[in-house]
Chains A and B, each alone.
Chain A
């Protein structure tokens, strides 16, 4: 089964790193979809089938927290797993995002294997990453 993954981050460099980790994880990917903020992400989500959202928090226009809230209250989108990747390592923020319905949370900096493991769990497949 090929997965469509939506990577949401205002940093193109960070989107590229996440994509690289996905590549190295050996997941079968149908489409890589990218967005620079929550507004762009919602536009993509209403046009494309998405199996996993990987999102930053701190972004212009609509941040990752609001994106998560919007996804969880939309009956068509609410079952998509959302993995948060953020520089904010505070317990308050992590607990808040999980309470809002995040499926996982990775703090930056992260080891590639940690991100791969979380994606593997959320996609329900085994990673053959050689990190």
Chain B
């Protein structure tokens, strides 16, 4: 399976997470196989690694303004009442939830463990993957995902495999 075939799973998982817990609707999604965009000023960016029967990386970046609104929706607090620390925590939790949802879907019955969301910079961002721009009613979220180890996933007939360069 090529990266482009994998995009519907990513779009579906992101829409589900954003709708259920952040009360945000994904209005449009575009995908490309590319280098993720470097985090810009006033942008929050996180990366996670998943390890086990399926291994790879996932990343999320979004503007601080979008993160603030999503944090408000998630916590049920007014935007003005939120601290920067809370906004960062909620964005990190969003990356955790998105990654868990996506890997669960592509991994089928395979077991995996997620690392903790780590803030990432242009220097630490991984070099290649399926990059998706999710337009929501609160701004755009960029995600990127790459499966580095596909051997174990390939043994699971139910699980699609994303082929990416190393």
A25 to chain B, nearest CB (A): 14
**Complex interface: chain A residues within 8 A of B19 (CB):** 109
In terms of DSSP, what is the predominant structure of the interface of chain B? helix
Q: Do A109 and B16 contact each other (CB < 8 Å), given the known contacts A20-B75, A87-B104?
A: yes
Tell me if B110 and A90 are in contact (CB < 8 A). yes
Tell me if A90 and B108 are in contact (CB < 8 A). yes
**Complex interface: chain A residues within 8 A of B109 (CB):** 90-92
A16 to chain B, nearest CB (A): 6
Tell me if A17 and B75 are in contact (CB < 8 A). yes
CA distance A86 to B95 in the complex (A): 13
CA distance A13 to B74 in the complex (A): 9
Q: Do A89 and B101 contact each other (CB < 8 Å), given the known contacts A17-B75, A109-B17?
A: yes
The yes or no answer to A60 lying at the interface (CB within 8 A) is yes
CA distance A17 to B92 in the complex (A): 14
Q: Quick one: which of B17, B75, B96, B107 contacts A90, CB cutoff 8 A?
A: B107
**Complex interface: chain A residues within 8 A of B113 (CB):** 58
Those of A82-131 within 8 Å (CB) of chain B: 86-93, 96, 107-111
Tell me if A108 and B116 are in contact (CB < 8 A). no
B19 to chain A, nearest CB (A): 8
**Complex interface: chain B residues within 8 A of A91 (CB):** 109
The yes or no answer to A34 lying at the interface (CB within 8 A) is no
Pairs of residues from A and B, 8 with the lowest C-beta to C-beta distance, nearest first = A87-B100, A89-B104, A109-B20, A13-B89, A109-B21, A109-B17, A13-B90, A92-B109
Taking beta carbons and an 8 Å cutoff, which residues of B are in contact with A? 16-17, 19-21, 71, 74-76, 86, 89-90, 92-93, 96-97, 99-101, 104-105, 107-114, 116
